[in-house]
Structure 1
Amino acid sequence: MNSKMRKLIKLTLFAVIIAGLFIGFNFSNVFAAENTINCSNRFVTLVNPVRGRIMWGDRSLAPIKTQYESINKYKFPATWLLQYDSLIDGELRDYTKTFDSNQEIGVFLEVTPELTLKSRVVYPHAVDWANPAAIFLSGYSQSDRRKLIDKLFLDFKDFYGYFPKSVGAWWIDSYSLNYMKEKYGINAAMIVADQKTTDRYGVWGQWWGFPYFPSKANILIPAKGEETRADVAIIQWAQRHPDLAYGEGPVFSNYSFQANDYIRQGKSTIFFKDLINTYLNCENPVAQVTIGLETGMESIGFNDEYQRQLSFLWSLKNIKFLSMSKFAVEYEHLYPQINEFVLQGPKTKWILNKNERRNEKLGDLVKYSQQVSFSDYFIKDSSSFLDRRLTNEELSTNNESHYPFYVFFWLFISIFFLWKKKFEVWLYGTFFLMASFGLILKSGLRYGWFVFYGPVVSNLLIIQTAIVVATFILFYFLKSKHLRLLVILSFGLDYILSILRYSYFSGSHYLGVSVDALRFVGFKITPPFSVAFVNTDFISVIASSLLRFNFDKIWNHSVLSLIVYPLIHILIAYIVLFQIKHVNSRFQKIVLIILVILFTLYLGMIINSDPRVVILNR
């Protein structure tokens, strides 16, 4: 072997050694990069929604046991969100009480027929369980939402001894979120990550995949300051790939952290690992991901992949695993310091701050307005498609608010009447305002919407002020004390009208009153001469179809509601006054007591009324 050949061999060996060292060094770096995240404030939150077992593929406890054992193998904390039907499932509930102390139990805010029945709320007729008008709280009036939430939370406390801190659903309206925060002290909520049309649910415009504290007006809008902030941390279910998930339908939205999603897209655990690295890298001051499977449903077919996810997460260093509520506590201190998040995908980049989110390559720009809500804050949404997509039209809405100036006029008039020692006139005038015009006086401008509880009128402030002035002028010249009193009490008859019910089905007439949304008390009249007393719950479809007096027919016409309606009550008062003069004093007192009780109930009905119509303030 000549010297040239020996030199060539030496050079080749040297090159191989150097290359080997270089490759080995880089492989070790890659391995380290995959298993160590060299920055703080990286969070993983395991969340498992648990629906009633009637929805499960396997209705034994095996699915939840398998899922819990997979999590407990690594001593991970997790949050289990129980739908009402699973909450009242004694066997399932008792099993959750055997979980270790790392596990958190919360509530999954999906409405079921059982929950509506127990809450005395009418469930929508002839819809499937996943219809947004049935399953989400936004499909119900504000008062019904309160009943549903109260029942869910009170039963939870009966079973577990405390109120839950964490809640979730694919959609939670801001009215319900604020109510749960103020009354029950929740601090964490989970909604679905951005998707335009998947499963008939369109949720679009929040920070792409990153947690935030929302505006009180809109759960999709990150709050700027404490005065507008709802103190509930929002995390997202099925956070999406920054590039691949942008588009319409599951063909795009299935590029997410969910095992069932990306497996159906032909991806593997490698996709999951890459997406974890995309979200939890050190480019941002804070990062968080939500991982989970719907217990008994997707968890059955995809548990093997779920276990591979957990195994990979366990191998990562410098990661904090926290339940929803504990993450919220930590994030509360970090959020005010955050100015901007950057989510860098292979092809595009998301810029997320408290003024806007944007992705220039995808052409996505959403500017945030702190004081603009969706209409479902005020009224129920009966649509079969949930459309909660932030649009430029809504966000450019005039979000000014106005003070009800009629209050100043009422105060001025009150001082005048009290100074003139006309207390009785002032008192009756005030009660008349509340009874006859309470719904229009409650109306106003809020969160970018004109909110009407009664008639829809233009120049609302002027109308409200004119009503106050006209009412006190009327009562000043109405000299009869008895007539003033009866004008007020005549509105108690409206309460009777509001609860009267009639129907004809199965060959019988039903006439009576509704005690609540489902309970009917009255008489069943079957021809020719059969009369029976009835005190029963009707199913939702019958209860909602009973004939009743429709006050909306009055509120839909300004003349009827502002002029005819109060004049009718004045006329009724004249008639009652004329008739009552001809009976003895004892009977008069009985009539007055009954009218006072009815008026009190009617006044409560006005005070607790729900918004009827909302109009965007352009």
Structure 2
Amino acid sequence: MTTPRHALKTTTLFFTIIFSLNCGHSLQLVAQTPPRIINIINFIRQSEPRDRAITEDVLYETVVQQIKQLSEYQLPATFLLQYDALINPRYQTLLKNNSMPVCEIGAWWEITQPHVEAAGLNWRGRYSWDWHADVGFATGYSPKEREQLVDVYMEKFKSIFGKYPASVGSWFIDAHSLAYMYDKYHIAASCNCKDQIGTDGYTLWGGYWNQAYYPSRKNAYMPAQNETTQISVPIFRMLGSDPIYQYDNGLGGMTQGVVSLEPVYKGGGANRQWVEWFFNSLLDPTLNFNYAQAGQENSFTWNQMKQGLEIQIPLIDSLRKQNKIRVETLEASGKWFKEQFSVTPPTAFSALSDVRNEGNKTLWFNSRYYRANLLWKDKSFRFRDIHLFDENFKSDYLTQAGTSDQCVYTTLPVVDGFLWSTRSELAGLRIVDKNGNDWEFGMPTVSRLSENVLQVEFSTTSGQTFHIIFYEDRFEVACTKGGKEAAWALELKTASGKELPFQKMNENEIKASFKGFEYAIACKKGTLENVPGSVFRILPIENKIIMDCAKREQMI
């Protein structure tokens, strides 16, 4: 399956300078370079019940300082308001009278007591804002109640600012609410949390890893495959996730910490070395565009975020002045995305140097059909992650309210290097020799072959060269013989005792079932086989394996 030529429009942004911050890696870029976009998004809460020292005045002063800093650098930004902050005259005056060049004001979709009561509903929370998923997010309400919450917010916002908000963000928004916002109020953009396991009680795992996607009308976390079944408002992934280290954080457990661009984290956005490395990685090879969200919610307070922002904002300003990035509001990015892409485009995020100097390199590929992550560690290599996307996989919250204080959004796993691993046994799809032994590999080179096609090339220490080519609906692994004669395969191994989704297999297909939903991955070229000690092995035909990630019909 291929994308119709008219489905993706071409961006016409050209760059003449390739940015480097002491990167010791090779890369190839075609002349027409995809844009790199940064949204500065700060969202505003009226109260913070988790810490008595964080008063309403402290929260307000944090936003004052954020605006002051952005005004100094004349950077555009987006401020998203919870309902209780929206109705506070202090925030209304502050945001209306700011001195920023562009200040977008939008909605932050955490549900609060004043919001619920304004919609004529009963508040069930412990505090006026309760972060538990069954009261503090729209997933905890019935579809009809969600519409009431949307209507009352939109009308109040318009009465204050003279128009409806164009951007609505949250850690997660259900498909019913998002579709209602788009269909009735024509929002232009949304944003949700980065991928994580269990952090703050919220799990979003296996999704479109970065950049932005059009969600399914049945599941706002799941990219849609067709324009007719999508909510045509792009969802941008927040927080600037560390492409190497966030994924494995908390390995062996069920709760992850945070390694991200958020300016309060010492191992991420508050560390100058990490921030410079992250922005450099943002400019590494990609497809269509690359993206990061900067900014922080006011709950963390100015004292905690000041150091990180004083590192990040001048760097963002410098990169903008050098025309290496675009800094714009979430609304502007959403409108640009919709002008460029009628369906979710393929994108990539590569990090070909390691800020910790531990020998790691990575590549993330995303499309409307699947995501894949490659990881190199010194001389080893594996597919760390492959998840498939299917617009028919319904969210648990599509038609009914969630009753748990936690929330879980997932997609369809083929390789899961976190949940199927332990600290001593790392799951992955590896390139092995005829005896099942791992090979040693050298430095990868990443190149953009066309607008929607990315190639990774790397060699073994004995002289064979491997090419992995990512298309939006499939990926290919091929070996060019060199040095000694090559006999190789792809082999999936996981930690022992892990529950896996695979049900049946023949030489061309694997059937799987996850949460009662059946799906398949097909081998278009190559042969699948069972091998003791592994989940499965894929043998090449004529030194090539082609995996179809867009197969939807049932099989076997």
CA contact (8 A) 1:205 1:390 kept: yes
Amino acid at match of 1:118: A
Q: Which residue of 1 aligns with 2:339?
A: 333
Q: Which residue of 2 aligns with 1:242?
A: 243
Q: Which residue of 1 aligns with 2:114?
A: 114
More displaced 10-residue stretch of structure 1: 57-66 or 158-167: 57-66
CA contact (8 A) 1:293 1:299 kept: no
Using a 3 Å threshold, how does the CA distance of structure 1 residues 344 and 282 change in structure 2: closer, same or farther?
closer
| 1:313 to 2:316 alignment | yes
Q: Which residue of 2 aligns with 1:93?
A: 92
| 1:397 to 2:397 alignment | no
Structure 1: segments with no counterpart, 5+ residues: 1-27, 400-447, 449-618
CA contact (8 A) 2:261 2:269 kept: no
Q: Which residue of 1 aligns with 2:43?
A: 49
Q: Which residue of 1 aligns with 2:261?
A: 257
Q: Which residue of 1 aligns with 2:395?
A: 374
1:316-374 deviation line (CA, Å, top 9, x unaligned): 12221110111111111333487532322343322212211122535322111122221
Counterpart selection for 2:369 from 352, 355, 365: 355
Amino acid at match of 1:333: E
Secondary structure (helix, strand or coil) at the match of 2:228 reads coil
CA distance in 2, matches of 1:191, 1:279: 19
CA contact (8 A) 1:348 1:362 kept: no
CA distance in 2, matches of 1:257, 1:58: 25
Q: Which residue of 2 aligns with 1:143?
A: 144
Q: Which residue of 2 aligns with 1:422?
A: none
1:505-563 deviation line (CA, Å, top 9, x unaligned): xxxxxxxxxxxxxxxxxxxxxxxxxxxxxxxxxxxxxxxxxxxxxxxxxxxxxxxxxxx
Amino acid at match of 2:258: N
**RMSD over equivalenced CA pairs, Å:** 2.9
CA contact (8 A) 2:263 2:270 kept: no
Using a 3 Å threshold, how does the CA distance of structure 1 residues 298 and 279 change in structure 2: closer, same or farther?
farther
Using a 3 Å threshold, how does the CA distance of structure 1 residues 337 and 382 change in structure 2: closer, same or farther?
closer
Identity percentage over the alignment? 23
1:146 Cα deviation after fit: 0.9
CA distance in 2, matches of 1:176, 1:83: 16
CA distance in 2, matches of 1:381, 1:296: 25
Using a 3 Å threshold, how does the CA distance of structure 1 residues 168 and 333 change in structure 2: closer, same or farther?
same
Q: Which residue of 1 aligns with 2:15?
A: none
Q: Which residue of 2 aligns with 1:582?
A: none
Amino acid at match of 2:200: D
Amino acid at match of 1:111: I
- Higher radius of gyration, 1 or 2: 1
More displaced 10-residue stretch of structure 1: 123-132 or 172-181: 123-132
Secondary structure (helix, strand or coil) at the match of 1:193 reads coil
- Which residues of 2 match residues 55-454 of structure 1 at below 5 A? 57=54, 59-60=56-57, 61-99=60-98, 100=100, 102-124=102-124, 126=126, 129-247=130-248, 252-261=256-265, 263=266, 268-316=271-319, 317-318=322-323, 319-336=325-342, 340-345=346-351, 346-360=360-374, 361=382, 363-392=384-413, 393-394=513-514, 397=517
1:266 Cα deviation after fit: 9.9
1:74 Cα deviation after fit: 1.5
Using a 3 Å threshold, how does the CA distance of structure 1 residues 398 and 305 change in structure 2: closer, same or farther?
closer
Q: Which residue of 2 aligns with 1:514?
A: none
TM-score normalised to the size of structure 2?
0.62
CA contact (8 A) 1:205 1:220 kept: no
Using a 3 Å threshold, how does the CA distance of structure 1 residues 242 and 264 change in structure 2: closer, same or farther?
closer
Secondary structure (helix, strand or coil) at the match of 1:257 reads coil
Secondary structure (helix, strand or coil) at the match of 2:361 reads coil
Q: Which residue of 1 aligns with 2:463?
A: none
Using a 3 Å threshold, how does the CA distance of structure 1 residues 342 and 59 change in structure 2: closer, same or farther?
same
CA distance in 1, matches of 2:93, 2:170: 23
Structure 2: segments with no counterpart, 5+ residues: 1-17, 352-359, 375-381, 414-512, 520-551
Secondary structure (helix, strand or coil) at the match of 2:197 reads coil
Using a 3 Å threshold, how does the CA distance of structure 1 residues 315 and 155 change in structure 2: closer, same or farther?
same
Secondary structure (helix, strand or coil) at the match of 2:187 reads coil
Secondary structure (helix, strand or coil) at the match of 2:298 reads coil
CA distance in 2, matches of 1:146, 1:337: 26
1:190 Cα deviation after fit: 1.0
CA contact (8 A) 1:195 1:201 kept: yes
1:140-189 deviation line (CA, Å, top 9, x unaligned): 01111111111111101111110000011111001100010011111111
Amino acid at match of 1:389: T
- Which residues of 2 match residues 545-556 of structure 1 at below 5 A? none
Amino acid at match of 1:200: G
CA contact (8 A) 2:395 2:409 kept: yes
Larger relative helix fraction: 1
1:131 Cα deviation after fit: 0.6
